[in-house]
Amino acid sequence: MSTPSSVWDAVIIGGGFYGCALAVFLRQNGHHVVILEAGADLMQRASYVNQARIHNGYHYPRSFITAWRSLVNFPRFILDFRECVESSFEKIYAIARRGSKVNAYQFREFCRNIGAPIRPASASIRRLFNADLIEDVYTVREFAFNAVVLRELMRARLARLDVPVQFQAEAHHIAQADANTLRVTLASGETLRAKSVFNCTYAQINTLLHHSGLPLLPMKYEITELALIEPPPELRDLGITVMDGAFFSTMPFPAAGLHSLSHVRYTPHESWADLVNGYRDPYAYIAGLDIQTHATYMIHDAQRYLPVLSKARYVRSLYEVKTVLIKNETDDGRPILCREDYGLKNLYLVMGGKIDNIYDVLKYLQQFAQPIDQDMAEASHDQP
C-alpha cells in the first residue's frame, strides 16, 4: 500500500474504470491516492454493464466531435488495453430505409469526412438483412472489450503501483476540512482527509453532491436493459448495428461469451432528470425496482430487419442506470464531464460518457496533476 498518510494527496471515489484509470494516472505522477469503492469489487457497475463497444466513430453521425474523438482514441485504447480487446468478429453497420436520421449516402460521407474505414458488406452478409427495410450494409473497423479482462488489467496496474482500494466504502459526504484539505465522510462514519477529491461515481455523482449540499448537475438517467443472447450460428462472428434511430445492436459481449442485444426503443425502461423531476438516488431507485425484461420485444422488432435473429436464444438481462448529460439528448454525443473546484476547492467531478474517453479526461486533468514525485513521474509511462 502506498504510504498511507493522515492527509491523502487525492481520494478517488468510485472504483469503476474511470476511478481506476485516474488513480493509476495520479500515482504515476507521484500522488498518494486511495480509491473508495462502495461495492465489493472494482468495475461492477456501468464499467461492466455496457455494450462493450470500443467506439471508432461510426455510432455518432450526428455528433461530429464525439465521432472524431472516438476515431482518435481508438488506436490508443486498443494498444494500451490490448489484452481485453476482442477483434475476431466482423462489425457491420446497416442503414434503415425508413425512420433513420441519416441515409446511406450521408453515412458514407460522414465516414469519409472523419476518415473512418468503411466498405460495402459482402453478399452473404447482405442476404441476412431484409432488403425492404435496410437501405445498405457496410463492414467497418470496430471492436469489443472484455470487461472482466479489463478489470483484471486495472487491478494489476493498481497493485503494481501500490494503490490501496477500500471496498464496501461508500462515500456519503464531502466538506471543507480546513483551508487546504477536504474531508470525505463514509456511510460507516469513517472520515478521510485529502488535498483533492475526485467524484468518479457516474450515476451517483449527484447523490454525493446532494448529500454534500452542493448544486446538482443537469443529468438524465435511464434504467437500461442489456439483453444477453446466444446468437444463431450465422451471427456468431458478427456484430451488427442498425442505424440511426429506434433500431438495435447485437454484438459480442466477451465477458459472458454471449451477444448483447440492445434496442433504442426497448432498452430504456424509464428515465428522469434530477433538475426536471426532482432528485432521486439512482442506485437506491434501481435496486427497488422489479424490472420485467423487454427482451421479447427487442427480438421481435429486430428480426424484422435481421430475420435470422428469430433463432436467437435469450439468456438473461443486465440492468444499469445509464447517465448522460441533458444537453446531449438530441445529438447523442458523449463528451466528457470534468469540473474542478466544484463548490469546494479541489473537488473534481469526472464522468467519461464512454470508455475510450479516458484519454480526453486525462488530457483535461493533466494541468491539475503536475508530478509531485519526480522519481515516480520519470519511471511512469502514459498508460492509464
Ligand X SMILES: Cc1cc2nc3c(=O)[nH]c(=O)nc-3n(C[C@H](O)[C@H](O)[C@H](O)COP(=O)(O)OP(=O)(O)OC[C@H]3O[C@@H](n4cnc5c(N)ncnc54)[C@H](O)[C@@H]3O)c2cc1C
Task: Tell me how far, at minimum, the Cβ of 379 lies from ligand X, in Å.
Answer: 26
Considering the complex, state which of residue 104 and residue 295 has its C-beta at the smaller distance from ligand X: 295
Stretch 316-375 residues interacting with ligand X (CB under 6 A): 320, 322, 351-356
Number of residues that bind ligand X (CB under 6 A): 39
Using CB under 6 A as the binding rule, whether residue 147 contacts ligand X is answered as no
Is there binding between residue 212 and ligand X (CB under 6 A)? no
Residue in 2, 11, 18, 136 binding ligand X, rule: CB under 6 A: 18
Interacting residue with ligand X among 56, 201, 241, 250 (CB under 6 A)? 201
Q: Which three cell numbers stand for residue 56?
A: 471508432
Q: In Å, how far are 53, 86, 359 from 78, measured between CA atoms? A: 12, 9, 12
How many C-beta atoms surround the C-beta of residue 123 within 10 A? 8
The number of CA neighbours under 13 Å toward the Cβ of 356 is 29
Which amino acid makes up residue 180? Answer: N
The nearest distance, CB 261 to ligand X, in angstroms, is 12
- 14 forms part of the interface with ligand X (CB under 6 A): yes
Cβ within 8 Å of residue 20, ≥6 positions away: 35, 42, 43, 154, 155, 157, 158
Provide the mask over 153-182, with x wherever binding to ligand X is found by CB under 6 A and - wherever it is not. Answer: -----------------xx-----------
Report DSSP letters for 312-378, one per residue: -EEEEEEEEEEEEEGGGTTT-----EEESSSSSTTEEEEE-SSGGGHHHHHHHHHTT---S-HHHHH
Among 56, 63, 196, 204, binds ligand X (CB under 6 A): 204
In whole angstroms, how close is the CB of 132 to ligand X at the nearest point? 29
Q: Cα(111)–Cα(291) distance, rounded to whole angstroms?
A: 38
How far is the C-alpha of 198 from the C-alpha of 338, rounded, in Å?
10
Spatial separation of the C-alpha atoms in residues 108 and 119, rounded to whole Å:
9
Q: Does 16 bind ligand X (CB under 6 A)?
A: yes
Closest by CA to 189, choosing from 173, 210, 201, is 173
Asked whether position 39 contacts ligand X by CB under 6 A, the answer is yes
> Which 8-state DSSP code applies to residue 278?
-
Q: Considering only 47-55, 106-114, 116-124, 375-383, which stretch makes contact with ligand X by CB under 6 A?
A: 47-55
Indicate whether 45 belongs to the interface with ligand X (CB under 6 A): yes
Nearer to ligand X by Cβ, of 38 and 299: the residue is 38
Could you tell me which stretch among 126-134, 197-205, 295-303, 341-349 binds ligand X (CB under 6 A)?
197-205
Assign 3-state DSSP to the chain and report helix, strand, coil percentages, each to 5. Answer: 30, 30, 40
Question: Quick one: which of 10, 24, 34, 36 contacts ligand X (CB under 6 A)?
Answer: 36
User: Which stretch, 7-15, 78-86, 110-118, 365-373, contacts ligand X (CB under 6 A)?
Assistant: 7-15
DSSP symbol at 242: E
Based on CB atoms, which residue is closest to ligand X, 32 or 53?
53
Among 28, 100, 224, 346, binds ligand X (CB under 6 A): 224
Any contact of residue 63 with ligand X (CB under 6 A)?
no
11 touches ligand X (CB under 6 A): no
Q: How far is CA 295 from CA 20, 302, 310, 327, 355, in A?
A: 32, 10, 12, 29, 25
Q: Compute CA 225 distance to the chain's CA centroid, rounded to the nearest angstrom.
A: 15
One residue of 11, 12, 19, 335 binding ligand X per CB under 6 A: 19
Name the residue nearer to ligand X (CB basis): 104 or 253. 253
> Between 37 and 104, whose beta carbon lies closer to ligand X?
37
Q: Which of 32, 53, 151, 259 binds ligand X (CB under 6 A)?
A: 53
Q: Do 197 and 182 touch, CB atoms closer than 8 A?
A: yes
What does the binding site for ligand X look like in residue numbers (CB under 6 A)? 13-19, 36-39, 43-47, 49-53, 55, 170-171, 200-202, 204, 208, 224, 226, 320, 322, 351-356
